[in-house]
Amino acid sequence: MQTSPAVDVAYTTPIYSQTEAARIVQAPATSFTRWAQGHRFKQRTKGEWGSSPALLTGVRPGRGVTVPFTALAEGFIIESFRRAGLPMARIRPAVDVLREEIGLENALLSERLMTDGAEILYRNGEGDLVVVRNHQGVFNEVVSEFLKSITYRDGFVSIIHLPAFETVDVVVDPHRNSGQPTVDRIGVGVEDILSRVRAGEPLAEVGEDFGLDARELRSLIIQAA
């Protein structure tokens, strides 16, 4: 059985607020908060209050900086599921199945999600839990289109390549720029580049100083808008 990715404290030490983490993975802030903290809801049929546990692991209670890279990565994967068409009503039991079958609380971070995770979620077609929409390979599409944006190390997520930046490789790596989105090729934080644009410096000068062509710089500006 794999061990938890808790050996490197850079991955498990909080470095983001929940709002900041939601912005990085491009998830609604209210949704990310529910994933991080769980939430209460009124059951329509019974008229009673129910609750959903937190989906993300390692988020500390309170305000401010509470989210480690591991939880941000889990949020990125859950948002990827959502964008592929899987509703939260199926994502939550899917996470439970993955944790049970893979044997890890951090199952969403495991490289096994890339290899046999889809089969784990798809094989329950005999009256058991089916989490793939319309019994089709939607989850397989998630694996190919979203999870390929992840770099693994020692079997767990180590770097996220943000797919929204189509023409420039922007990564989130807790060992670089305190986990802030970074242009991989030059090692400079996206915010450091954009701060000069916001200050009114000519785009040509900013691009030249950082070695970015016009298309790459435009991609950074559009995604930050």
- The percentage of the chain sitting over the pLDDT mark of 70, rounded to a whole number, equals 77
In this prediction, residue 23 carries a pLDDT of 95
Instruction: State how far the Cα of 223 lies from the Cα of 225, in Å rounded to an integer.
Output: 6
Task: Please compute the mean of the pLDDT values over residues 13-39 and round it to a whole number.
Answer: 94
Model confidence pLDDT, tens digit, residues 77-98? 999 888 877 778 778 877 887 8
Task: Please compute the mean of the pLDDT values over residues 119-126 and round it to a whole number.
Answer: 53
In this prediction, residue 69 carries a pLDDT of 97
Confidence of residue 129 (pLDDT cuts 50, 70, 90): very low
Task: Please compute the mean of the pLDDT values over residues 15-28 and round it to a whole number.
Answer: 96
In this prediction, residue 22 carries a pLDDT of 97
Which value, to the nearest 10 degrees, does the dihedral of the CA atoms of residues 162, 172, 14, 198 take? -80
Confidence of residue 12 (pLDDT cuts 50, 70, 90): very high
In this prediction, residue 139 carries a pLDDT of 57
Instruction: State how far the Cα of 96 lies from the Cα of 115, in Å rounded to an integer.
Output: 18
Q: Which helix (H) or strand (E) holds 99?
A: helix 88-102
- The percentage of the chain sitting over the pLDDT mark of 90, rounded to a whole number, equals 52
Burial class (CB in 10 A: 0-12, 13-18, 19+), 185: middle
The SS3 assignment for 153 reads strand
- The structure's pTM equals 0.84
The C-alpha R_g of the chain, in whole angstroms, comes to 19
In this prediction, residue 114 carries a pLDDT of 73
Whether the predicted pLDDT of 24 surpasses 80: yes
Model confidence pLDDT, tens digit, residues 165-224? 889 999 999 999 999 999 999 999 999 999 999 999 999 999 999 999 999 999 999 987
Confidence of residue 134 (pLDDT cuts 50, 70, 90): very low
Burial class (CB in 10 A: 0-12, 13-18, 19+), 202: exposed
Which value, to the nearest 10 degrees, does the dihedral of the CA atoms of residues 139, 140, 144, 146 take? 0
Three-class HEC string of 116-147: CHHHHHHCCCCCCCCCCHHHCCHHHHHHHHCH
CB distance 137 to 122 below 8 Å: yes
Could you identify the residue written with the tokens 């797919």? 163
- Cβ atoms within 10 Å of 143's Cβ, excluding its own: 17
Domains annotated for the chain, with CATH where assigned, are 1-158 (no CATH), 162-225 (1.10.10.10)
Q: How many residues does the chain have?
A: 225
Which value, to the nearest 10 degrees, does the dihedral of the CA atoms of residues 43, 32, 91, 87 take? 70
Mean pLDDT computed over every residue of the chain? 83
